[in-house]
């Protein structure tokens, strides 16, 4: 849908003609009381559930959680999943046309924040007639927006599930992001972000791929990589004669996959929104901001997450008045555990919705 009003941006100016792509499952109750908002992470999209289909070569990224009889039971709940503002899977982002309709924003897409993204989602909720979400849930970057929703719109969030996320990006998170952004910007194919008319294969694919590799290592754990790959060579390749270790081939694979489905400018824009995330900014600090939350809340982290360590979720659980004790998802998969440990995440959703 196209937002009715131009979107005022936190750093000034407005973004006109904002489109938000979204998918829904289930049926809204007449009073709108059964609506659940699911917010995706950095490279996710609105296709959270459903089988692989044309345009979506893989099943929804939380397919195990959303559907009839599943923790987000679509026989009971109306589940809404928007693609984030700044993204590249249907919502307005750098690949969208500028207001003059002649060329894409490219490198001149405005700097946006998590608060701008949530403000756009508020307009989407208004348009859908949803006054109050029964649950807002998100992991990682999605958790940042879920938290922003609960802080900026406390009356509109009945329950809140925050997974593997933080109240403010840490120095280390910004540092990893810096290397990723630089990898993209230094690719000669990036051309200041104005590469959409480049010949096939001439875009900033190498830079985006390197960014994904850096990120992917931080998304997983050292023990997992050790056990899965160790020092094994890839197939019959010989790392001492120009071949690869298996873990290198694994990273190549994840880089190739992302390059085929994601836009480098969006990667930068969204990474910068995460760097800018600080729920306490202009609100008297983190503790004061968290006290605004009135939702029944669960906060969970992944025990092997080296990117969003448990202390960050502990800070949220301790600071949000309606939060129960911190829950820990047990997984060797590191930060990606919130996408992979479906049974444990499902149990948290069921517990919160029962409450």
Ligand X SMILES: N[C@@H](CCO)C(=O)O
Binding residues for substrate: 212, 336
Binding mask 63-82 for ligand ACO (x = CB under 6 A): --------------------
Q: Which stretch binds ligand X (CB under 6 A): 39-47, 67-75, 176-184, 320-328?
A: 39-47
Among 34, 43, 46, 140, binds ligand ACO (CB under 6 A): 43
Q: What is the smallest separation between the CB atom of 252 and ligand X, expressed in angstroms?
A: 16
Residue 305 interacting with ligand ACO (CB under 6 A) = no
Q: Where are the beta strands (DSSP E) in the chain?
A: 7-8, 14-15, 22-25, 35-39, 66-67, 72-73, 78-82, 135-139, 159-163, 296-302, 327-329
Task: Residue 154: count other Cβ atoms within 10 Å of its Cβ.
Answer: 14
- Tokens coding 219: 């998304």
Between CA 216 and CA 96 the distance in angstroms is 27
Between CA 140 and CA 301 the distance in angstroms is 10
- Sign, CA dihedral 286-306-150-160, equals negative
104: three-class secondary structure by DSSP: strand
Q: What is the smallest separation between the CB atom of 201 and ligand ACO, expressed in angstroms?
A: 20
Among 43, 46, 152, 271, binds ligand X (CB under 6 A): 43
Residue 58 interacting with ligand ACO (CB under 6 A) = yes
- Sign, CA dihedral 42-47-51-54, equals negative
Residue 209 interacting with ligand X (CB under 6 A) = no
Residue 44 interacting with ligand X (CB under 6 A) = yes
Listing DSSP states for 289-307 in one string gives: HHTT--SEEEEEEETT-SS
Q: Which stretch binds ligand X (CB under 6 A): 5-13, 35-43, 113-121, 186-194?
A: 35-43
Between CA 163 and CA 156 the distance in angstroms is 19
Between CA 253 and CA 247 the distance in angstroms is 10
Residue 140 interacting with ligand X (CB under 6 A) = yes
Active-site residue set: 140, 305, 335
Binding mask 228-267 for ligand ACO (x = CB under 6 A): ------x-----------x--xx--x---x---x------
Binding partner of residue 15 among ligand ACO, ligand X, none, CB under 5 to 8 Å per kind?
none
Q: How many residues of this chain interact with ligand X, rule: CB under 6 A?
A: 9
**Interface residue list for ligand ACO (CB under 6 A):** 43-45, 56-58, 61, 234, 246, 249-250, 253, 257, 261, 333, 336, 339-340
């Amino acid at each position: 849908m196209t937002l009715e009003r131009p979107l005022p941006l936190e750093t000034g100016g407005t973004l006109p003609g904002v489109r938000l792509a979204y998918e829904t499952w289930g049926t809204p109750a007449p009073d709108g009381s059964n609506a659940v908002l699911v917010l995706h992470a950095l490279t996710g999209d609105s296709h959270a559930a459903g089988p692989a289909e044309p345009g979506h070569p893989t099943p929804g990224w939380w397919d195990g959680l959303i559907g009839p009889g599943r923790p987000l039971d679509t026989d009971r709940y109306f589940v809404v999943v928007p693609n984030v503002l700044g993204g590249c899977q249907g919502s307005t982002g750098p690949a969208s046309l500028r207001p003059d309709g002649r060329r894409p924003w490219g490198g001149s897409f405005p700097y946006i924040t998590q608060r701008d993204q949530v403000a756009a989602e508020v307009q989407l909720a208004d348009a859908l007639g949803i006054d109050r979400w029964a649950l807002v849930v998100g992991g990682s970057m999605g958790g940042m927006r879920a938290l922003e929703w609960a802080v900026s719109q406390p009356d509109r969030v009945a329950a809140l599930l925050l997974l593997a996320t933080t109240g403010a990006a840490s120095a280390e998170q910004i540092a990893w992001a810096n290397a990723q952004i630089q990898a993209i910007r230094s690719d000669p194919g990036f051309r200041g972000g104005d590469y959409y008319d480049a010949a096939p294969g001439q875009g900033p694919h190498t830079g985006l791929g390197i960014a994904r590799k850096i990120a992917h290592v931080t998304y997983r754990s050292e023990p997992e990589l050790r056990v899965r790959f160790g020092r094994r060579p890839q197939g019959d390749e010989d790392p001492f004669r120009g071949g690869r270790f298996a873990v290198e081939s694994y990273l190549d694979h994840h880089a190739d996959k992302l390059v085929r489905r994601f836009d480098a400018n969006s990667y930068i824009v969204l990474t910068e929104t995460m760097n800018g995330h600080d729920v306490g900014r202009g609100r008297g600090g983190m503790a004061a901001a968290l006290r605004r939350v009135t939702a029944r809340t669960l906060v969970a982290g992944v025990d092997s997450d080296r990117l969003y360590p448990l202390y960050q979720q502990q800070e949220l659980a301790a600071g949000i008045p309606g939060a129960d004790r911190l829950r820990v998802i047990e997984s060797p998969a590191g930060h990606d555990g919130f996408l992979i440990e479906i049974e444990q995440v499902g149990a948290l959703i069921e517990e919160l919705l029962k409450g």
